[in-house]
Structure 1
Amino acid sequence: MPHPQRSVPQSALADLADIPATGRWVRSGSARLHILDYGGDRTPLVILPGISSPAVTMDFVARELTDLVRPLVVDIRGRGLSDGGGTYTLEEYAEDTEAVVSGLRLERPLLFGHSMGARIAAVVAARGKVPLAGTVLGDPPMSGPGRGPYPTSLDAFLGQLAEAERGTDAGSVARAWPRWPRREQELRARWLSSCSREAIAATHRGFETEDFFDWWPSVPGPTALLYGADSPVVTAAGAAEAAAVQPSAALTRVPDAGHMLFWDNPPAALGALRETLRRMPA
C-alpha cells in the first residue's frame, strides 16, 4: 500500500495567522524553501529545526528572541511548506541554508540549530561559504560511523508520522511527549504530516552514516553548544569529547531537560539560549 503524500491540513495553515512573522521564499536549486521571518533591524538569527519539526513548531522559541535578534525559522527541505526531493544529506541541507542567507541578503547572520538543525549549522559554519557572526548548536546528534546508534529508532519516527497522516490530536501527542506545553502538542499534531517520509528516513540514516565530529572541530568561533542534562543524544561523554576537540566553544548544560530542550524545560533552555546570544557579536 502506498504511503500518503505530505499534507498540511487547513487547521494547520490557520496556525500561521497567529504567528508574528512574514512568510518568505528562496530557491535552492530546484527546491523552493519557506522561511518565517520575525523582522526587525537586529542581527539575523537563522533557526534550523530538527528532523520532524516544521518551522512553525519553533515559533515559541523565536518570538522570545525578538528583543535580541531578528529570528528567521527555516522549513527544512521536505518539511512544512518547503519542497522535498534531493538527497537529504548534511551538505545538501547546508547548501539550502547558504541559499537562505544569500537569497534573503542576510549580512553576517548568526545560526542556531536544534538536533538535525545543529548538525546542519556546524556544516554551514565549517564550509565557510557564507559569512557568519557565530553559531549555536542545540543538542546535535553525535551518533555516526563507529559510534552508538541514534537513540530514537526510525520505526518510532515513522510510527508517529503514520499516526499524524491518519489524523491525530494533542492528547495522542501527549502520550509520547507528556512534558510538552499544550500548544506545542497541538502544533505537532497538526504539522507532523507535512514532513516527508523520505526526508525523515534519509536524515535518520545520516545520523548513523555522517559523523558530526568530521565537522565540529572545523567550526570557527564564536560557537556554543547547549545540551540537555538528561539527553540520550548528547551524553556526558559526548559533551566531554565535543569540548576536547573544540576547546574554544562555550558548552552549557540545560538542567532538567532531555534532547527536546525547549519543549522539556522552556524557561531554562530559553534562558541558556538568550545568554549565549548575548555573548555573540552584535
Structure 2
Amino acid sequence: MSAAFGFNVAANGVRLHVLRYAGQGAPLVLVPGITSPAITWGFVAERLAQAFDVHVLDVRGRGLSSSGPGLDYGLDAMADDLSALIGALGLSGVTVLGHSMGARIAVRAASRNAAGMERLVLVDPPVSGPGRRAYPSRLPWYVDSIRLAERGMDAEAMKAFCPTWSEEQRALRAEWLHTCHEPAIVTAFEGFHRDDIHKDLPGLPVPATLMVAGRGGVIEPADEAEILELNPDIRIARVPDAGHMIPWDDFDGFFLALDELLGTSFARAGA
C-alpha cells in the first residue's frame, strides 16, 4: 500500500493542493469530479500506485486548493490549472485520468496545452453541452448536500445522498464535502450544459481512451458512436455493473477496464 503525502504548488496564479501516492511507474495525474476532493479518491490511488507514480489533484474550489470568491471556476481555467501543474512539477509522459468533470478538464487541457501529457483516460465524462440532453444529475443534489456538510454531517446523514456507498466512504465524503465551494460547483454544473467538449475531440494531440459506466446513464450507446465518429482512435471499455461513480460501485471492474484500456495488470495483481 502506498502512503500519501500532500503538498501545494503555485500554478496558473492559484494554489493547487496535490496528494501523491508514490509509485515506481510513470506519472499519472488523477483529476476528480465536481464534488470529489482528492482524498476521496485515495482508495483508488493506492492501487493505481502499483503501476504509476500517482498525483491526485484538488481542483480549484475544492479540498485544500485555492477557493473562495473572485476565482474563475470555468472549464478553461481548470484546464489551464492542470497543464500548469504538470509543468510546475516537471512531469513528462503523464497519463491523465479524469473522472466526470475531471475528464472534461483533461480533454480541454490537452486541446489547449498538452505539454507533458502522453495519454488520457476519460472516465464517464458528461456528454451534455449546447443543444444536447441535460446531464442526468440535478444541481440541488449537490447544493443541498454541500449546505448540510457546511453545518456538519456524518456518514448516516450522507446515506440520503449516497445510499449504496460504504460507511467509510460516506464518512469521508461527509468530512470533506464542506470544502467544495458552492459557487464553484454551480459554475461547473452550468458548464456541463454550456461548454462543448465534443469540438475538442477530433483534434486531440494525445491518444485518449474512454471508460463507460453501464448503469450511469451519462454515456449512452449513441454517445459512444458519436465520440468514435469524431475521433475513431478512442478506445472504449465498459463497466456493466457500475453507476457513474464507477470505482465506488465496482472497484474490481474499474481496474479490469483500466487493464483493457492501458494494458496494465491490476486485476492480476489484486487477485
Calculate the TM-score normalised by the size of structure 2: 0.92
For residue 29 of structure 1, what is the aligned residue in structure 2? 12
Task: Establish whether residue 74 from structure 1 lines up as the match of residue 57 from structure 2.
Answer: yes
Q: How far does residue 77 in structure 1 lie from its aligned partner after superposition?
A: 0.3
Counterparts of 2:128 and 2:196, CA distance in 1: 7
Matching residue of 1:120: 105
TM alignment of 1:1-282, pairs within 5 A: 20-84=3-67, 85-278=70-263
Separation of aligned partners in 2, 1:23 and 1:67: 19
Other structure's SS at 1:227 match:
strand
Q: Does structure 1 conserve the Cα–Cα contact (< 8 Å) formed by 2:44 and 2:247?
A: yes
Task: Tell me the secondary structure at the aligned position of residue 160 of structure 2.
Answer: helix
User: 1:41 Cα deviation (Å)?
Assistant: 3.5
* Cα distance between partner residues in 2 of 1:22 and 1:183: 20
| In 1: Cα distance, 2:156 partner to 2:229 partner | 42
Q: Deviations over 1:30-87 (max 9, x none)?
A: 3101000112342100000000000001101110111211110000000000002422
Alignment partners' CA distance in 2, 1:86 and 1:156:
23
Q: Per-residue deviation at 1:110?
A: 0.9
Write out per-residue CA displacement over residues 176-225 of structure 1, whole angstroms, 9 at most, x where no aligned residue: 22222332111111000010011001001100100120212222342100
| One-letter code aligned to 2:111 | A
Q: Which residue of 2 aligns with 1:12?
A: none
| 2:83/2:113 contact within 8 Å kept | no
* Secondary structure at 1:135 match in 2: strand
Contact 1:243 1:251 in 2 (8 A): no
Q: Deviations over 1:140-182 (max 9, x none)?
A: 0110100011111212210111111121111222232222233
SS in 2 for 1:88: coil
Q: TM-score, normalized by length of structure 1?
A: 0.88
Decide which moves more: 185-194 or 215-224: 215-224
Give distance in 2, aligned partners of 1:173 and 1:160: 8
Distance in structure 2 (CA, Å) of the matches to 1:35 and 1:249: 28
Computed over aligned residues only, the root mean square deviation of the Cα atoms, in angstroms, reads 1.8
Identity of aligned residues (%): 40
Moved more, 111-120 or 222-231: 222-231
Distance 2:169 2:255 in 1: 15
Task: Kindly provide the amino acid, as one letter, of the partner of residue 74 in structure 2.
Answer: T
1:129 Cα deviation from its structure 2 partner: 4.1
Unaligned runs of 5+ in 1: 1-17
